[in-house]
C-alpha cells in the first residue's frame, strides 16, 4: 500500500531552492506568489434577516477567489458593523460545508438593522470587501420552536407536501413557495401562477385543501379592504402536486371564477339567512362581523367531492358571540373539473367562543383542527385558539389550546394535523406578518423594500387535553 507523503516529506522533495507554500495540503510554487490579482468576494444574497434568540437562522454563502491561489488559502473575516447594538463583528459565525463553501450566520443582539462589512485577504496582502445588510426582529415567546419563512410576510395558507416541506401561499401575490419546515430561510422553490390564471393582481389566497395529488385553493371571495369588488378575489383554482419534499413539483389545473355570486344567490334563495348580499355590497369591508370573507377550505370526512368553506365573516348570527359559519360545496370536484354550478349543502355553525374561522384542516383519520381568531384583527390584538372537531355536523368543537398573542403577526394556517388522540400531540402553525412592524422602524412587513427582510413565522404547539 503506497504511503501518503507528509508535509515534511513534501518540503524535502521540493528542496530549498524550490521554496513553496503549503496551504491546506496544497502546494503553491514560489513563482506564483508575486504579482497576484486582487481577490474577489460575492455573497449568495446581499441581505439577510434573523431574529434575536433565533434558532436555525438563515445563512448566506460566500464565494471567494483569487487567480492562481487555492480558495482555502484566502482569509475571510467580518471587519465592521454599522450598528453593534444589532450585531457585532464577533456575532458573525463562519462555517465550512462539506463541499468547501463558506457560510455566514449572524447571532442578533437587538432588533433593527446593521451593515456588516466582510473582507477577504489573499496573496500579496490584496483585499476585497462587500457588505451584508442584516435585519433582526425581536425575540419571540418560544424561540426554540420558531422558524421564519423569508421572501414573503403574508403567509395565508399552507399544505404539507411530505419530506419535511410545506407549500405556502401569500395573500399579496399569486406565488406559491416551497419551504423546509425545519429551518429558517428563503423558499426552496417558487411558482408564480399569475400567468396561468391570466391575472396580474392577487387572488387573495386564503384557504387550501389537498385530495390526493390535487390541491384546491380559494381566494377570500370578498371585497378588498376599501370595500371594493375585485374580480381576482372571486377565484377558486387547483394545482397538481408531484414528488415530495425538496423535489416537489406543481402544475396549474383549472379555475372557477363565480363562487361568490353563487353563494350570494344561494343565500338569497334561503331568505338571506346569512346576509351575503349585504356583506358583498359596494363599500362593505370584508373583515367585519356582518362582512363576507372566506378563509378556510377543507373536505368533509372521507369525501373527495364535498368541500367545506370556512368563513371569517359573517358570524352567525352577526352579533358578538355569534357562531362560526361553514358552508359545504357538495360537488367541488365537478365545479373545478367541468365548470358545473356549485351545489351547497346544509350549513354548519360552530361555537368557537365568538371567534371566526382562520383555517381548518383534517388528517387521514378525519380529525379536524380549527384555527379560530377574530373576524377583524390582522394582528395579535385579539384572542386565537385551536379547536378539535370530530367531523359530525351536530357535534360541537372542543378547545385544545389558547394561542399566544404577545408576538407580531396573526395566526393564519395549520400545516398538518397530528393524531389528536396522542397525548402531547404537536402542531405547526404559520403566521401572517404582513401588518407587523418587525424591525422597529414603523414599516409594515408587507411594505419593506427587500423581499429578503419580509418573513412569516411558524411555531410548534403542544395541544392540551380537549375541553
Q: Indicate which CATH number applies to the domain containing 93.
A: 2.60.40.1080
Is 13 a member of any domain? no
Q: Are residues 260 and 293 in the same domain?
A: yes
Tell me the sheet residues that pair with 96. 102
Q: Are residues 183 and 132 in the same domain?
A: no
For residues 164 and 440, the answer to whether their CB atoms sit within 8 Å is: no
Q: Are residues 49 and 115 in the same domain?
A: yes
Cell numbers standing for residue 10: 513534501
For residues 150 and 185, the answer to whether their CB atoms sit within 8 Å is: yes
Task: Report residues of the chain scoring pLDDT below 70.
Answer: 1-34, 377-380
Cell numbers standing for residue 388: 378539535
For residues 252 and 197, the answer to whether their CB atoms sit within 8 Å is: yes
pLDDT at 379: 63
pLDDT at 314: 98
Cell numbers standing for residue 194: 399569475
Is 153 a member of any domain? yes
What count of other Cβ atoms lies within 10 Å of the Cβ of residue 370? 28
Q: Are residues 173 and 226 in the same domain?
A: yes
pLDDT at 378: 65
Is 19 a member of any domain? no
Spatial distance between the Cα atoms of 263 and 310, rounded to a whole number of angstroms: 13
Is 9 a member of any domain? no
Q: Are residues 121 and 264 in the same domain?
A: no
| pTM for this model (two decimals) | 0.90
Closest CA to 64 of 39, 45, 32, 44: 39
Show which of 105, 137, 169 is a domain's final residue: 137
Spatial distance between the Cα atoms of 62 and 120, rounded to a whole number of angstroms: 10
Spatial distance between the Cα atoms of 120 and 104, rounded to a whole number of angstroms: 13
Is 467 a member of any domain? no
Tell me: the pLDDT tens digits for 204-240?
Answer: 999 999 999 999 999 999 999 999 999 999 999 999 9
Cell numbers standing for residue 292: 363576507
Is 1 a member of any domain? no
Cell numbers standing for residue 156: 395565508
Q: Are residues 70 and 98 in the same domain?
A: yes
Q: Is 364 exposed, middle or buried (0-12, 13-18, 19+ CB in 10 A)?
A: exposed
Is the backbone of residue 9 left (phi > 0), alpha (psi -120 to 50) or beta? alpha
pLDDT at 98: 80
- The three-class DSSP label of residue 172 is coil
CA angle 377, 382, 385 (to 5 degrees): 105
Spatial distance between the Cα atoms of 463 and 466, rounded to a whole number of angstroms: 8
Show which of 119, 137, 155 is a domain's final residue: 137
Is 46 a member of any domain? yes
Q: How many domains does the chain have?
A: 2
Is 81 a member of any domain? yes
Spatial distance between the Cα atoms of 360 and 7, rounded to a whole number of angstroms: 64
Cell numbers standing for residue 102: 463558506
What count of other Cβ atoms lies within 10 Å of the Cβ of residue 48? 25
For residues 122 and 38, the answer to whether their CB atoms sit within 8 Å is: yes
Spatial distance between the Cα atoms of 398 and 151, rounded to a whole number of angstroms: 35
Question: What's the domain range around 112?
Answer: 35-137
Q: Are residues 237 and 102 in the same domain?
A: no
Q: Are residues 132 and 167 in the same domain?
A: no
Q: Are residues 288 and 344 in the same domain?
A: yes
Q: Are residues 328 and 458 in the same domain?
A: yes
DSSP annotation string for 211-265: ETTEEEEEE--S--TTS---GGGS-EEEEEEES-GGG-EEEEEEEE--HHHHHHH
Spatial distance between the Cα atoms of 51 and 142, rounded to a whole number of angstroms: 12
Q: Are residues 47 and 159 in the same domain?
A: no
Tell me: the pLDDT tens digits for 15-43?
Answer: 333 333 333 333 444 444 457 899 999 99
Q: Are residues 324 and 402 in the same domain?
A: yes
Q: Indicate which CATH number applies to the domain containing 347.
A: 2.120.10
Spatial distance between the Cα atoms of 258 and 252, rounded to a whole number of angstroms: 19
Question: Which residues, at least 6 apart from 6, have a Cβ–Cβ distance to it below 8 Å?
Answer: none
Closest CA to 189 of 248, 252, 253: 248
Tell me the sheet residues that pair with 372. 357, 385
Show which of 137, 166, 182 is a domain's final residue: 137
What count of other Cβ atoms lies within 10 Å of the Cβ of residue 460? 15
Kindly state the helix (H) or strand (E) to which residue 309 belongs, with its residue range. strand 307-313
Amino acid at each position: 500500500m503506497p504511503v501518503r507523503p507528509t508535509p515534511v516529506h513534501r518540503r524535502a522533495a521540493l528542496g530549498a531552492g524550490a521554496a513553496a507554500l503549503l496551504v491546506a495540503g496544497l502546494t503553491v510554487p514560489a513563482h506564483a506568489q508575486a504579482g497576484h490579482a486582487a481577490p474577489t468576494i460575492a455573497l449568495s444574497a446581499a441581505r439577510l434577516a434573523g431574529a434575536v434568540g433565533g434558532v436555525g437562522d438563515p445563512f448566506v454563502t460566500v464565494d471567494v477567489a483569487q487567480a492562481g491561489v487555492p480558495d482555502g488559502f484566502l482569509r475571510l473575516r467580518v471587519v465592521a458593523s454599522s450598528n453593534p447594538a444589532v450585531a457585532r463583528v464577533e456575532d458573525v459565525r463562519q462555517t465550512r460545508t462539506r463541499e468547501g463553501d463558506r457560510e455566514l450566520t449572524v447571532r442578533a443582539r437587538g432588533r433593527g438593522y446593521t451593515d456588516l462589512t466582510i473582507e477577504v485577504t489573499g496573496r500579496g496582502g490584496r483585499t476585497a470587501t462587500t457588505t451584508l445588510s442584516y435585519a433582526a426582529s425581536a425575540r419571540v415567546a418560544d424561540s426554540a420552536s420558531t422558524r421564519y419563512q423569508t421572501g414573503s410576510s403574508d403567509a395565508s395558507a399552507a399544505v404539507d407536501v411530505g419530506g419535511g416541506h410545506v407549500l405556502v401561499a401569500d395573500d399579496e401575490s399569486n406565488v406559491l413557495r416551497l419551504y423546509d419546515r425545519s429551518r429558517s430561510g428563503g423558499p426552496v422553490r417558487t411558482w408564480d401562477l399569475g400567468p396561468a390564471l391570466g391575472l396580474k393582481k392577487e387572488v387573495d389566497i386564503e384557504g387550501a385543501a389537498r385530495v390526493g395529488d390535487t390541491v384546491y385553493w380559494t381566494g377570500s371571495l370578498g371585497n378588498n379592504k376599501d370595500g371594493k369588488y375585485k374580480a381576482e378575489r372571486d377565484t377558486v383554482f387547483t394545482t397538481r402536486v408531484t414528488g415530495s419534499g425538496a423535489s416537489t413539483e406543481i402544475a396549474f389545473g383549472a379555475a372557477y371564477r363565480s363562487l361568490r355570486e353563487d353563494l350570494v344567490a344561494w343565500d338569497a334563495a334561503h331568505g338571506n339567512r346569512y346576509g351575503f348580499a349585504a356583506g358583498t355590497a359596494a363599500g362593505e369591508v370584508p373583515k367585519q362581523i356582518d362582512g363576507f370573507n372566506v378563509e378556510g377550505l377543507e373536505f368533509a370526512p372521507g369525501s373527495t367531492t364535498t368541500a367545506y368553506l370556512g368563513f371569517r365573516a359573517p358570524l352567525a348570527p352577526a352579533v358578538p358571540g355569534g357562531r362560526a359559519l361553514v358552508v359545504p360545496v357538495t360537488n367541488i370536484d365537478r365545479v373545478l373539473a367541468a365548470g358545473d354550478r356549485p351545489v351547497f349543502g346544509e350549513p354548519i355553525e360552530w361555537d368557537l367562543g365568538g371567534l371566526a374561522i382562520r383555517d381548518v384542516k383534517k388528517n387521514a383519520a378525519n380529525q379536524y383542527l380549527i384555527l379560530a381568531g377574530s373576524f377583524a384583527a390582522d394582528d395579535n390584538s385579539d384572542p386565537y385558539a385551536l379547536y378539535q372537531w370530530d367531523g359530525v355536523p351536530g357535534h360541537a368543537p372542543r378547545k385544545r389550546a389558547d394561542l399566544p398573542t404577545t408576538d407580531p403577526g396573526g395566526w393564519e394556517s395549520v400545516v398538518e394535523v397530528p393524531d389528536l388522540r396522542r397525548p402531547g400531540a404537536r402542531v405547526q402553525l404559520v403566521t401572517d406578518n404582513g401588518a407587523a412592524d418587525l424591525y422597529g422602524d414603523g414599516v409594515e412587513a408587507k411594505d419593506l423594500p427587500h423581499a429578503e427582510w419580509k418573513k412569516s413565522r411558524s411555531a410548534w404547539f403542544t395541544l392540551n387535553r380537549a375541553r
